[in-house]
Amino acid sequence: MQQIVNFILRNKSFLFFLLLLSISVSLTIQSHSYHRSKFINSANFFTGGLYNTSNSISSYFNLEEENQKLNKENARLNTLIGNTKKESISYIDTTTFENTFKFTPARIIKNSYSKQQNVLLINKGKKDSIKDDLAVIDNNKIIGITANYNSKYATVISILNTTSRISAQLKKTNHFGTLSWNGKSPKVVQLTDIQKNAPVKIGDTIITSGRSSIFPKGILIGSIKDFKLDITENYYEINVSLFNDMTNLEHVMVIENKDKSLIEDLLNNE
Amino acid sequence: MNNLLSIHTLRFLLLIVFQVLLFNHIDFLGYVNPYIYILFIALYPVKNNRMLFLFLSFLLGLIIDFFMDSGGINATASLIIAFIRPAVLKFSFGAVYEHNVLKFNNTNFIQKLAYFSILIVIHHFFYFLMEFFNISKIILILKNTLLSSIFTILLSILITTIFSKKTK
């Protein structure tokens, strides 16, 4: 017994090192095996507050560019409204149309794209009825899915995250697959599990499939850069160049699918 | 003693703020960032309470992890270099370290360069090993380690030279 106590006392700093090392390694493993870290995330009062302050200063630097972007978006929506009116008498917009999707505007206060697990931070949280697993888009182009949140901030798992998986499909046909990222370029993501008989061509548009009940169907992702068959020769592996410039983001929309719990209940019952 | 304590506390906080707000957003060539916060670990007093030093390094890494949403990557890498620092000190400064008269302000440049380089390369290697977490991507890990290390070494030499008080 005396010897054990002596051993611990002699090696106390080494044992302390081992203890801290096991904590940090287990946090790392957790962040790799599960797509959100429960404890270590920037959606808390302190880190969120600091990023918010710094963003409120730096956002002035690209006001002009952001204004142009918003103008373009406005123009696109105006044409959409104008054209819809002509086509049919029943007037469609998101406030009346079945009311399935709820849009919340938000601002990105921390962007990241050079790492393997890129996580963004937005300035909306539980107060603005942000939950986990909501879609985040910019100008009808995909960005990511919300993960952790507190009262004022929420983290977003970017599509540029090696653990992110999103259901996507070809725009022309309904062949669908899984969108993931290999961690190499912030402009190119990978679409796998597309059936071999699907008509895949370079330049074709890829959109979200709406199957996961997170993203509505038809959010733009990118165009096909190149493709090849995988090892089993049954599925395509497609490189998709993103429409969105993930390195330059500011104003985004968070989309909540109000029917999500209904859909999930139905699927779970089967 | 009080003065020394306040210098290190200030350095701890300033390095975190600069790392998070400035150095994490450089993205040279798209992905090369310097991790300058480990200057705190490198410049910590040589005569120290080992447990406290290990804990502070771990805490520093963990705070950076909170900001970067990166699990425990920075905490692991910082902890490892804090643990091996005595060996690196002995290797790079030799007799001066053993006689307990080491002061970072008046050391020879080559020794300082060697000391920083070893610590930074080891830190960055473990950092990227933890980030990729996949040994089959070892080439990418080594490439990232090399590029980021060069960047960090240059910056840390610059910063320590600018902020050093000449004791002549």
The percent of residues in chain A predicted with pLDDT above 70, rounded, is: 91
CA–CA min distance A183, chain B (Å): 9
A220 is a domain residue:
yes
Q: What is the pLDDT of residue A114?
A: 84
Regarding whether A108 and A154 lie in a shared domain, the answer is yes
The first and second tokens of residue A227, run together, are 């493709």
Residue A50: give the domain boundaries. Answer: 45-162+247-259
A252 is a domain residue:
yes
CATH code for the domain in which residue A229 is found: 2.40.10.350
For residue A38, name the pLDDT band (cuts at 50, 70, 90): low
| Interatomic CA distance for residues A225 and A238, integer angstroms | 7
A25 is a domain residue:
no
pLDDT tens digits along A90-113: 555 555 555 678 888 888 988 888
Q: What is the pLDDT of residue B168?
A: 47
Number of domains in chain A: 2
Residue bearing the bigger pLDDT, A83 or A17: A17
Regarding whether A153 and A170 lie in a shared domain, the answer is no
Query: Angle formed by the axes of helices A12-33 and A2-10, to 10°?
Result: 70
Q: What is the pLDDT of residue B118?
A: 93
The residue of chain B nearest to residue A111, with distances taken between CA atoms, is B25
Q: What is the pLDDT of residue A83?
A: 67
| Interatomic CA distance for residues B26 and A206, integer angstroms | 31
Q: What is the pLDDT of residue B63?
A: 92
Regarding whether A199 and A237 lie in a shared domain, the answer is yes
Q: Write down the H helix ranges in A108-217.
A: none
The residue of chain B nearest to residue A187, with distances taken between CA atoms, is B30
Regarding whether A210 and A128 lie in a shared domain, the answer is no
* Over residues A173-189, mean pLDDT: 88
CA–CA min distance A92, chain B (Å): 40
What is the rounded radius of gyration, in angstroms, for the C-alpha atoms of chain B?
A: 16
What is the rounded radius of gyration, in angstroms, for the C-alpha atoms of chain A?
A: 22
CATH code for the domain in which residue A123 is found: 2.40.10.340
pLDDT tens, N- to C-terminus, chain B (168 residues): 567 788 888 989 999 999 988 888 887 887 788 999 999 999 888 877 888 999 999 999 999 988 888 888 999 999 999 999 989 988 888 877 776 667 777 778 888 899 999 999 999 999 999 888 888 888 989 998 999 999 999 999 998 888 876 654
3-class state of residue A118 by DSSP: strand
Answer yes or no: is the ipTM higher than 0.85.
no
State the DSSP code for B32: B
A174 is a domain residue:
yes
Kindly compute the dihedral angle of the four CA atoms of residues A52, A54, A57, A59, in this order, to the nearest 10 degrees.
Answer: -70
A151 is a domain residue:
yes
With a CB cutoff of 8 Å and minimum separation 6, the contacts of B97 are: B46, B89, B90
Regarding whether A49 and A131 lie in a shared domain, the answer is yes
3-class state of residue B44 by DSSP: coil
Class assignment of domain B2-162? mainly alpha
Question: C-alpha distances in angstroms, B96 versus A134, B46, B116, B120, B166?
Answer: 59, 11, 16, 21, 18
List the 104-133 stretch of B: residues with Cβ below 8 A of A: 130-133
Give the domain ranges of chain B: 2-162
B48: contact with A, CB 8 A cutoff:
no
A93 is a domain residue:
yes
Regarding whether A187 and A138 lie in a shared domain, the answer is no
For residue A177, list its beta bridge partners.
Answer: A168
Regarding whether A193 and A120 lie in a shared domain, the answer is no
A133 is a domain residue:
yes
pLDDT tens digits along A207-248: 988 887 888 888 889 999 988 888 888 888 899 999 888 888
Collect all residues of chain A within an 8 Å Cβ-Cβ radius of residue B67.
42, 47, 50-51
A82 is a domain residue:
yes
Regarding whether A93 and A199 lie in a shared domain, the answer is no
CA–CA min distance A157, chain B (Å): 10
Q: DSSP string of A18-45?
A: HHHHHHHHHHHHHHHHSSS-SSS-S-SH
**For residue A187, pLDDT beyond 80:** yes
For residue A182, name the pLDDT band (cuts at 50, 70, 90): confident
Work out the burial of residue A41: count CB atoms within 10 Å of its CB; fewer than 13 is exposed, 13-18 middle, 19 or more buried: buried
Q: What is the pLDDT of residue B166?
A: 62
Contact B109, B101 (CB under 8 A): no
